[in-house]
Structure 1
Amino acid sequence: MNHQNRLQPSPLSEPVRRVETGSWAIELLPSAAYSTRYVAAQASIGFAFDSQRGLHALGSDRVHPFEAMPNGLAFVPAGCDVFSESLMGGEYLRVTRTDGIPLSGDHPFNNHIDQQAIDLALRMRGALLRACVEDDWETWALALAQRATGDSALSTPDQGAITPRRMRLLDEFIEANLEGPLGVSAMAGLLGLSEGYFMRAFKLATGKSPHSYLIDRRLAKARALMRDSTARLSEIALACGFNSQAHMATTFKQRLGVSPMQLR
């Protein structure tokens, strides 16, 4: 049940909510009737929040009725033939990688109940409905992918996986690239670690996620530029990797409780 193309929604239906961050694209598709047929160009993870009924064929020409329980995890591998339609549909989360790295797994499935996947999907849906600076999309997306694919990156990191020397390399890398998009894949690649292993090792070593640490670094640089330069706030925002001055202001208010103008 990979709802890639839905029937045209009514004017009163909710919009498709989408966020792209790091190596991932996450979409929340509203409850609506749909009909889709395609060959998957890339693997995707799905999560059906509602019970659904309809017809589908996954990886074969055999079309048969389906009845899906709510809170079902799904996976569609790259190259899989997909046909699915439902007159009632249901709210659906779809997660894909955007950096070309394939997701492991050769067999499609749906309607798999996994409590950790349910918790992750609910958290991601809440974040898509009401964005917050603390939203840790890359961590959530990778964790959901690991639930769907059984990724071997679930191994436990050593206590000293993030050494002071590695932390210094990371800090230098972040500082040099702060004005552009910085994802977990780039930081993990710098240290020669898998993304999942890196995120757990980083949290173990620092007490916070790479995403949260990156926000702190952006805020620290912005505050330094506000103090030591006469650049406009819009210029400072872009130099620190924020999407806009408004994005920077929101982050300041949520993290520090004051606006950039108040600090300056």
Structure 2
Amino acid sequence: MLCMNHRNRRLPAPCPEPVRRVEAGPWAIELLPGAAYATRYVAPRAAIGFAFDSQHGLHAIGSDRVQPFTALPNGLAFVPAGCDVLSESPLGGEYLRIMRIDGVPLPGDRAFNNRIDPPAITLALRMRGAMLHGSVEDDWEAWALALAERATVDETLSRPPQGTFTLSRMRLLDEFIDAGLDGPLSVPAMAGLLGLSEGYFMRAFKSTTGKSPHSYLIDRRIAKARALIRDSAASLAEIAHTCGFNSQAHMATTFKQRLGLSPVQLRG
């Protein structure tokens, strides 16, 4: 008979985060978890998207040309009906998608992404929080309509000002952050990587992503922790250490503040 103790006890298999979906009036709202994906389709209807995390991969949107892409965190996106879409990412990122399902078309015939729009950021974060809590009583229809209106705002009104990072610089920065996420990461180190002064780096970072470097680091730690909770059987204490949290309790507190639920609740 096998004697089980704390050294050989079998941990439960990790439970993947589901695709969360709400239908409200003419709208379907989906919260896609951060995970690897590869997809190819012709969009049957227009869709509004919002990337909570940085994403890197390959895509061809309305084109035969497959090329590398970087999706900025807090980036608003739009895919028109009939658009040929190919997209793949080895890590993916959490993503909100909104569509009309009543046959009424959304205005717009040009695909875009990486539009940083502060009102859209506020709306998307509110919708994600309600989705993670499984709330169905909130004002989903009004939120979806408001986000759709932000996607049709004149692009010049929401275009980032001068002094933002190029996508190649953002990719380099992400690689640097992800490689050092288990330890302290400072603004001087990140600014030095790009050859920038701290003041310029902080201003450009906020213009590029809609958030501060400190807030971005927290979100990257949370995203990595959620991936490990989903894809590994490592203990929560091990995950907290790997992702640069001071302790499991610190990770739990940060999850509650940012997501409104704990790592234990996510693991199920």
Q: TM-score, normalised to structure 1's length?
A: 0.52
Cα distance in 2 for partners of 1:41, 1:65 equals 24
The ranges of structure 1 where at least 4 consecutive aligned residues each deviate by more than 4 angstroms after the TM superposition are: none
Give, in whole Å, the separation in 2 of the partners of 1:132 and 1:25. Answer: 14
- Is 1:129 aligned to residue 132 of structure 2? yes
Q: Distance in 2 between matches of 1:11 and 1:25?
A: 28
1:178-193 matched pairs, under 5 angstroms: none
Distance 1:17 1:133, change over 3 A: closer
Deviations 1:167-197 (A, max 9, x none): xxxxxxxxxxxxxxxxxxxxxxxxxxxxxxx
Alpha-carbon distance, 1:11 to partner: 5.6
SS at match of 1:61: coil
User: 1:30 and 2:67 equivalent?
Assistant: no
Map Cα deviations across residues 137-191 of structure 1 (whole Å, 9 max, x no partner).
010000000111239xxxxxxxxxxxxxxxxxxxxxxxxxxxxxxxxxxxxxxxx
Letter in 2 for 1:130: H
Q: Which residue number corresponds to residue 73 of structure 2?
A: 70
The alignment status of 1:46 with 2:43, answered yes or no, reads: no
Other-structure match for 1:19:
22
What is the distance in 2 between the residues matched to 1:82 and 1:149? 20
Contact 2:22 2:136 in 1 (8 A): no
Shift of 1:111: 1.0
Deviation larger for 64-73 or 125-134? 125-134
- Which residue in 1 is equivalent to 2:63? 60
Describe the superposition over 1:73-109 as per-residue Cα deviations: whole angstroms up to 9, x where unpaired. Answer: 0000001010100000000000000110000001000
Aligned partner of residue 128 in structure 2, secondary structure: helix
Aligned CA distance change for structure 1 residues 100 and 51 (closer, same or farther; 3 Å)? same
How many residues matched? 142
Deviation string 1:31-90 (CA, Å, 9 cap, x unpaired) is: 100001111110000001000100001111011001121111000000101010000000
What SS does the aligned partner of 2:151 have?
Answer: helix
What is the one-letter code of the residue matched to 1:107?
Answer: R
Give the gaps of 5 or more residues in structure 1.
Answer: 1-9, 152-264
> How far did residue 12 of structure 1 move?
2.4
Question: What letter corresponds to residue 91 of structure 2 in structure 1?
Answer: M
Aligned counterparts, 1:1-264, within 5 A: 12-132=15-135, 134-150=137-153
Aligned to 1:41, what secondary structure does the other structure show?
coil
- Structure 2 match to 1:259: none
Q: Bigger shift: 127-136 or 61-70?
A: 127-136
Say which SS state the counterpart of residue 69 (structure 2) adopts.
Answer: strand
Shift of 1:120: 0.4
Structure 1 counterpart of 2:112, which letter? F
Q: Cα offset for 1:133? A: 6.0
From the superposition, tell whether residues 75 and 133 of structure 1 become closer, same or farther in structure 2 (CA, over 3 Å): closer
Q: Secondary structure at the match of 2:63?
A: coil
Structure 1 Cα separation of the partners of residues 117 and 90 of structure 2: 26
For 1:73, give the aligned amino acid.
L
| Alignment root-mean-square deviation, CA | 1.6
